[in-house]
Structure 1
Amino acid sequence: MANITSFPDESLGLAADSDVVFLMVPFPAQSHLNQLLSLSHLIRSRGFPVHYAASAIHCRQAKLRHDTLLLNTSGIIFHELPTPPFNSPPPEPYSSVKFPQHLWPSFESSLNLRQPVAALLRELSSSSVDTTTSRTRARRLVVIHDDLMNYVVQDAASVPNAESYSFSCGSTLCTFCLTCQFSGKPFPVVELDPDAIPTLDNCFTPDIASFLSIQSQYDHLKHGTLFSTCRAIEGPYLDLLAQTTHADAAVGKTKQWAVAPLFPVTPNHDKAHPTLEWLDKQPPNSVIYVSFGSSTTMSHEQINELAIGLEESKQRFLWVLRDADRVDIFNAETKILQLPEGFEERVKGVGKVTRDWAPQLGILRHPSVGGFMSHCGWNSCLESLTMGVPLATWPMHSDQPHNALLMTHILKVGVQVMGWGERDELVTSSAIKKSIENLMASNEGHAVRTRAEELSKVIKQSVDDDNWELNSFLTYATRSIN
């Protein structure tokens, strides 16, 4: 049985005022952990008991890195699921494959979570009454699981009072593109040349493609899908995907909800941090924020080219320079990535390099930030658009190439650092310099910033309207069934 992390006034029992309980089962990767924890908080804030189940390492990581002050983890019960030991190798900056293959041991090990999750399902879904506390167990257990954990939660289908819903952490555009590829159907998005659309083969490794295939075999067991997106951003692709899946007899009329953004969209009294203090001293919209997420590793040569491009652009910048996460972030040597000799001294007063975990949402929310050079992880794209910050796109792997196309070619809220067709080439300092100048100091940059700001208003309005889609999901998931 899983270990439970809770506060003294909590137990496995449910709150007396609710007979519907939610169980979150995230995939063991940083952005996935973070998004389901954010969703856990929103559901908990509406009065429902919420349980969050992952390995001990990943429960700890999710809580440590969640930078939302509104998150009150004392209202969420964490279950530390037993997992077999797995390797935690260092990233490989010179690998010919950009996908973070060093994380594969953790991904593969997640398949072993089926049995402990099944035991937790049985415990939480029990219909008996605890006579010692007078607490009634769940009338319904609502399981929200990452769509990469379909295999792990498959036993929810055999629990009479349980319903499972998948949670998609990536862009709907990417999901739709891959769905078209799998089915062999034509791709109907006129803004994109079909030949330019990234494919499963060039975005993922064979191991991951096989892993995705395993998950897809259990997709029919879910009752619906939550998408980490907003209709203001991806409405057309949500509709297209709904038409595609509803036409599939195996899937049937599964329901879908677009529940993002999951983070606070207004100023949230961000914690004091050296990066934010430095930004306080910079003019409005003058700084380009440079960060490539938790799974990206660059070669020494590429870091040098990026440093030179930033310096020669003459633009203010804030650069988060970190090595990629290992599987176990708590038991790994910190690798100091080297910069060109004298670089930090030469850019002092104009640029800042930080090697620590940075409060990205607070940075993007800061009025001094006018652009974001990004790997285009979906969470980064959502945060940037919600805060009205345009992007300089530099995708690395997975759904990132699709996200980059969405930003630059469809929504037109970004400029391109490199196209996916040049993914195997060194990105030169001159190309980097040009993209920064385009974003921060040109008419093109002004136009994409204006569009980003306009889109931000629409996204924030969806939250001001009481996050209708999330409430719609909660109403449906907690409904009475005769």
Structure 2
Amino acid sequence: MEGTQQPPHIVILPSPGMGHLIPLAELAKRLVLHHNFAVTLAVPTDGSPSKTQKAFVEALPTTINSMFLPPVNFDDLSEDVMVETRICLTMTRSLPSLRETFELFTATTHLVALVVDLFGTVAFDVAREFNVLPYILFPSTSMILSFLLFLPKLDETCSCEYRDMPEPVQLPGCVPLHGIDFLDPVQDRKNEAYSWILYQSKRYHLAEGILLNSFMDLEPGAIKALNEEADLSKLPPVYTVGPLVQNHSKDDDIVDGPECLRWLDDQPPDSVIFISFGSAGVLSLEQMTELAMGLELSEQRFLWVARTPTQKAANAAFFSSLSSEDPLAFLPDGFLERTKERGLVVNSWAPQMQVLRHGSTGEQKMNAVMLVDDIKIALRPKVDQENGLIFRDEIAAVLKSLMEGEEGKKVRNKMKELKDAAANALSKDGSSTQSLSEVALKWKTHAVA
């Protein structure tokens, strides 16, 4: 009967980790609200979902269907396996469950597209099997997308470890990139994590399109170069649809949210440094101590989302829930008391509205190059080459320069410009809004084909 036809159905498959779940969930909201799609968020797991994941999924609008796929088994993996390997194996071992889900959906709904993130290309085969269009939502920067698209060629032509390359790599539209600043999981080419990253990058061309969580004014050179490659049919079309960031209402249940917001309301405008390393970023005890002392020495206002320090890898918390140990107990003696008039430390998630942020822990060196050398919206502290630490004096100096110096003033002014540009991109007639509308039209056309 006319008017009762089912809306086209999109399945969104995030990789494990809140940093992957959030932008894909934000995409789901836009597809439902602005384009009248039915959307299912299917979340792979390697065990019981964390409290944070459950709370996040339960807080999604009721118009978005969500489900946790059955957990996969990792009894055969060693504890020291890199997080990228665990992510890719989670996706691979979830394929039987995904196939069963597709069988159900194709029989009961009008399933037209699958959207995965950068680690989900293994699911493309299932999508093609059911005549469903596969797309990638790339949650990071165009520079990192360009690097991954270039990686198969680099793998063939370079015989040494990338950190030992004598010359930087010149990606189209990007600033030169030295091997030492490449992604963490490609720094050891003998590690299984490298093989997985290479495997994923070789499959990007199988996508019908790549949705980039960025906007035109952020990286115009790199985005233009990607579009030119797409025009030459060397790449799937790239659509800038970002920034896809989580916006909270007053009624949202955010851990420590009310305290953070009340404290921020009492501070002068543009006076607070926000310190957060995301859902996966965990500092060593030594680096946590240096950061605390650097904040104290800088005499700047700060809001710090602290995590319990670890002696493991920097992304050791990626698959785990929040530690039961209080991270505040690991701060230097007297730090909280000495900084209580100008700093706030919280030990969990905080509202991150209006924050321009990209990527995960393993990408931050590349992001630093982009933000400092290309976009010029950040300052980069010097790392001690002997032990890999950034010492307190260096932290204090960079923070003072950012908040009080002329160089920092330029950075803050550029940030304000980009904040306005991001808002424009997401406006009714903005570039990101139009790009997503273009993709939505392709999906609806496929639905009636």
**Number of the residue aligned with 2:128:** 157
**Number of the residue aligned with 1:166:** 136
**Number of the residue aligned with 2:162:** none
**Inter-CA distance 66–114: structure 2 relative to 1 (3 Å threshold):** closer
Q: Is 1:319 aligned to residue 311 of structure 2?
A: no
Give the superposition deviation at 1:78.
1.4
**Number of the residue aligned with 2:244:** 262
Q: Is 1:341 aligned to residue 333 of structure 2?
A: yes
- Distance (whole Å) between structure 2 residues aligned to residue 412 and residue 194 of structure 1: 15
**Number of the residue aligned with 2:265:** 280
**Inter-CA distance 45–204: structure 2 relative to 1 (3 Å threshold):** farther
Q: Is 1:143 aligned to residue 126 of structure 2?
A: no
Q: Is 1:49 aligned to residue 34 of structure 2?
A: no
**Inter-CA distance 348–79: structure 2 relative to 1 (3 Å threshold):** closer
Cα-to-partner distance string for 1:269-301 (whole Å, 9 max, x where unaligned): 475511111111111111111111121221211
Decide whether the 8 Å contact of 2:216 with 2:240 is kept in 1: yes
**Number of the residue aligned with 2:444:** 478
> Which stretch shows the higher mean deviation, 307-316 or 107-116?
107-116
> Which stretch shows the higher mean deviation, 446-455 or 190-199?
190-199
Give the superposition deviation at 1:80.
2.1
**Inter-CA distance 105–462: structure 2 relative to 1 (3 Å threshold):** closer
> Which stretch shows the higher mean deviation, 336-345 or 233-242?
233-242
**Number of the residue aligned with 1:451:** 414
Decide whether the 8 Å contact of 1:177 with 1:187 is kept in 2: no
Decide whether the 8 Å contact of 1:165 with 1:224 is kept in 2: yes
Tell me which amino acid in the other structure corresponds to 1:209. Y
**Inter-CA distance 424–281: structure 2 relative to 1 (3 Å threshold):** same
Q: Is 1:429 aligned to residue 421 of structure 2?
A: no
> Which stretch shows the higher mean deviation, 291-300 or 184-193?
184-193
**Number of the residue aligned with 2:170:** 187
For residue 414 of structure 1, give the secondary structure of its aligned residue in structure 2: coil
Q: Is 1:406 aligned to residue 370 of structure 2?
A: yes
Give the superposition deviation at 1:429.
0.4
- Distance (whole Å) between structure 1 residues aligned to residue 337 and residue 79 of structure 2: 28
**Number of the residue aligned with 1:418:** 382
Where in structure 1 are there 5+ consecutive unaligned residues?
A: 1-14, 93-99, 129-136, 366-371, 380-396
- Distance (whole Å) between structure 1 residues aligned to residue 216 and residue 332 of structure 2: 44
- Distance (whole Å) between structure 1 residues aligned to residue 22 and residue 303 of structure 2: 23
Cα-to-partner distance string for 1:81-105 (whole Å, 9 max, x where unaligned): 112333799999xxxxxxx936754
For residue 278 of structure 1, give the secondary structure of its aligned residue in structure 2: helix
**Number of the residue aligned with 2:345:** 353
Q: Is 1:212 aligned to residue 203 of structure 2?
A: no
- Distance (whole Å) between structure 1 residues aligned to residue 342 and residue 410 of structure 2: 24
Cα-to-partner distance string for 1:139-179 (whole Å, 9 max, x where unaligned): x521111131111342211223x111111112110121343
Tell me which amino acid in the other structure corresponds to 2:390. V
- Distance (whole Å) between structure 1 residues aligned to residue 264 and residue 347 of structure 2: 16
Tell me which amino acid in the other structure corresponds to 2:395. I
Q: Is 1:29 aligned to residue 29 of structure 2?
A: no
Give the superposition deviation at 1:76.
1.2
**Inter-CA distance 183–217: structure 2 relative to 1 (3 Å threshold):** closer
Alignment counterpart, residue 146 of structure 2, candidates 172, 176, 191: 176
Give the superposition deviation at 1:354.
1.0
More strand by share: 1
Give the superposition deviation at 1:200.
4.8
Decide whether the 8 Å contact of 1:87 with 1:105 is kept in 2: no
**Number of the residue aligned with 1:231:** 216
Decide whether the 8 Å contact of 1:24 with 1:53 is kept in 2: yes
- Distance (whole Å) between structure 2 residues aligned to residue 422 and residue 259 of structure 1: 38
Scaled by the length of structure 1, what TM-score is found? 0.76
**Inter-CA distance 59–259: structure 2 relative to 1 (3 Å threshold):** farther
- Distance (whole Å) between structure 2 residues aligned to residue 350 and residue 39 of structure 1: 36
- Distance (whole Å) between structure 1 residues aligned to residue 420 and residue 386 of structure 2: 33
Give the superposition deviation at 1:262.
2.0
Where in structure 2 are there 5+ consecutive unaligned residues?
A: 158-168, 309-315
Tell me which amino acid in the other structure corresponds to 1:115. P
**Number of the residue aligned with 2:89:** 108
Decide whether the 8 Å contact of 2:185 with 2:197 is kept in 1: no
**Inter-CA distance 442–66: structure 2 relative to 1 (3 Å threshold):** farther
Decide whether the 8 Å contact of 1:154 with 1:218 is kept in 2: no
Scaled by the length of structure 2, what TM-score is found? 0.82
For residue 166 of structure 1, give the secondary structure of its aligned residue in structure 2: strand
Cα-to-partner distance string for 1:177-236 (whole Å, 9 max, x where unaligned): 343343249625587344367235675552321112332454343211111111111232
For residue 273 of structure 1, give the secondary structure of its aligned residue in structure 2: helix
- Distance (whole Å) between structure 2 residues aligned to residue 141 and residue 59 of structure 1: 30
For residue 122 of structure 2, give the secondary structure of its aligned residue in structure 1: coil
For residue 360 of structure 1, give the secondary structure of its aligned residue in structure 2: coil
Give the superposition deviation at 1:110.
2.6
Decide whether the 8 Å contact of 2:138 with 2:210 is kept in 1: yes
**Inter-CA distance 230–217: structure 2 relative to 1 (3 Å threshold):** same
**Inter-CA distance 49–187: structure 2 relative to 1 (3 Å threshold):** same
Give the superposition deviation at 1:79.
2.3
Q: Is 1:125 aligned to residue 96 of structure 2?
A: no
Equivalenced residue count is 413
Decide whether the 8 Å contact of 2:174 with 2:374 is kept in 1: yes
Cα-to-partner distance string for 1:354-393 (whole Å, 9 max, x where unaligned): 11221122xx47xxxxxx9xxx6438xxxxxxxxxxxxxx
Decide whether the 8 Å contact of 1:82 with 1:113 is kept in 2: yes
Give the superposition deviation at 1:245.
5.5
**Number of the residue aligned with 1:383:** none
Give the superposition deviation at 1:253.
5.6
What's the C-alpha RMSD, in Å, of the aligned pairs?
3.3
- Distance (whole Å) between structure 2 residues aligned to residue 42 and residue 222 of structure 1: 21
